[in-house]
Amino acid sequence: MEVTLLGTGDTTGTPTVGCDCAVCQRARNPDEPLVDQLDERGVTVGPRGVERTRFSIHVRNERTDETLLIDASPDFRTQFLREDLEPPDAALITHVHFDHLDGLGNVYRLCRELPVYASGAVDPEMGHSVAEHVRDRYDYLDPLDVQARQPFESFSICGFTVRLVPVDHPPLDTYGVVIEDPQTGGQLSITGDTRYRIPADSKDALADPDLLVADGILPADRCDSHPAGGADYDENGVPMTYGTKHMTIEGAKSLADELDATETRIVHLSHYLPAETAFDRPLGVDGERFSL
Ligand SMILES: [Zn+2]
Ligand SMILES: [Zn+2]
Ligand SMILES: [Zn+2]
């Protein structure tokens, strides 16, 4: 399983339009190119940029060359050109927010057919499922074949075994994703957009990944900037959740420990980070590539 982080930023991305904070300045003018590295497990970490476009992950089956897109970023075109990728063979949508769904229109004239997987569970807030929402929203796009799947149901895409697991991103239903390669035993776990407090059976499904891609929007000490402050405090009084919708970076690291992740990248990052360490691991940057 080859995993490429296409988009590691929050809904505004980094650099953010109209912002000249130190992080956005570093993202516009990287002072040093970051290079390929191999970690101790032999996980290949591809060239690191210093940009964070909106969320998306690309998963390729090296044996069949089939590719699965996790979420359709509004930056789809930029990401596919940047990584020199062919259009995907399948897509999966975790939830209906702009930064995860609105790129789907990019497949117009690119894909002859595209199965799009999403939860078929009815969201009480929307009155319909994520799958129905995607189907209605893109009913003009003939190539799309929206396939509803139930939470925790195992299904096969591109030779991988995939499960959607409920997380907590109020008020809308949102899902994490577990992707396993039955040939290599490799496992990618993606928390999706979520606060720290997620259901125990979802944690069980996400546990023991080779790579965890975890939501973590900003450091805990920035919770003052949210009208709702922080939530899900640990024993030292550190908020694991920023506001109500996303984990803090501390929360993402704590969850990674709890899930016993071999490798972790924190994504969905805002530009409100300390500039000196804004692009340091385990914070993800666009273009990182892993072999599981
Ligand atoms: Zn900024
Ligand atoms: Zn969201
Ligand atoms: Zn998001």
CA of 84 to the centre of ligand 3 (A): 24
CA of 97 to the centre of ligand 2 (A): 5
Buried b (16+ CB within 10 A) or exposed e, 215-244: bbbbbbebbeebeeebbbeeeeebbbbbbb
Q: Where are the domains of the chain?
A: 2-291
pLDDT in the model for residue 32: 52
* Cβ-based neighbour number of residue 63 at 10 Å: 12
CA of 114 to the centre of ligand 2 (A): 23
CA of 98 to the centre of ligand 2 (A): 8
Class of domain 2-291: alpha beta
What pTM did the predictor assign?
0.93
SS3 238: coil
Q: Give the Cα separation of 288 and 43 in Å (integer).
A: 11
Q: Where are the strands (E) in the chain, listed by range?
A: 2-7, 37-38, 44-45, 56-61, 66-70, 90-92, 114-119, 122-123, 128-129, 144-149, 155-157, 160-166, 175-180, 187-190, 211-215, 230-233, 239-242, 246-247, 263-267, 289-291
Per-residue pLDDT of the chain (292 residues; tens, 9 = 90+): 999 999 999 999 999 999 999 899 888 876 554 444 444 544 444 444 578 999 999 999 999 999 999 999 999 999 999 999 999 999 999 999 999 999 999 999 999 999 999 999 999 999 999 999 999 999 999 999 999 999 999 999 999 999 999 999 999 999 999 999 999 999 999 999 999 999 999 999 999 999 999 999 999 999 999 999 999 999 999 999 999 999 999 999 999 999 999 999 999 999 999 988 898 899 999 999 999 9
CA of 140 to the centre of ligand 1 (A): 36
Beta bridge partners of residue 5, listed in sequence order: 57
Q: Give the Cα separation of 266 and 175 in Å (integer).
A: 17
Phi/psi-derived region of residue 134, left when phi > 0, alpha when psi is between -120 and 50, beta in every other case: alpha
Ligand nearest to the CA of 10: 3
CA of 16 to the centre of ligand 1 (A): 5
SS3 231: strand
Q: Give the Cα separation of 215 and 225 in Å (integer).
A: 18
Q: Which two tokens stand for residue 271?
A: 């530009």
CA of 29 to the centre of ligand 1 (A): 13
Q: Give the Cα separation of 168 and 109 in Å (integer).
A: 35
pLDDT in the model for residue 128: 96
* Cβ-based neighbour number of residue 279 at 10 Å: 23
Distances in Å between the Cα of 142 and the Cα atoms of 109, 114, 138, 176, 205 are 10, 9, 8, 27, 34
Q: Which two tokens stand for residue 146?
A: 């929206």
* Cβ-based neighbour number of residue 247 at 10 Å: 31
* Cβ-based neighbour number of residue 35 at 10 Å: 9
Q: Give the Cα separation of 34 and 46 in Å (integer).
A: 10
State which residues have CB under 5 angstroms from ligand 3, the bound ion: 99, 193
Q: Which two tokens stand for residue 266?
A: 């924190």
CA of 110 to the centre of ligand 3 (A): 24
Q: Which two tokens stand for residue 48?
A: 């690191």
CA of 100 to the centre of ligand 3 (A): 6
Q: Give the Cα separation of 79 and 83 in Å (integer).
A: 6
Q: Give the Cα separation of 232 and 163 in Å (integer).
A: 26
Beta bridge partners of residue 241, listed in sequence order: 231, 247
pLDDT in the model for residue 38: 44
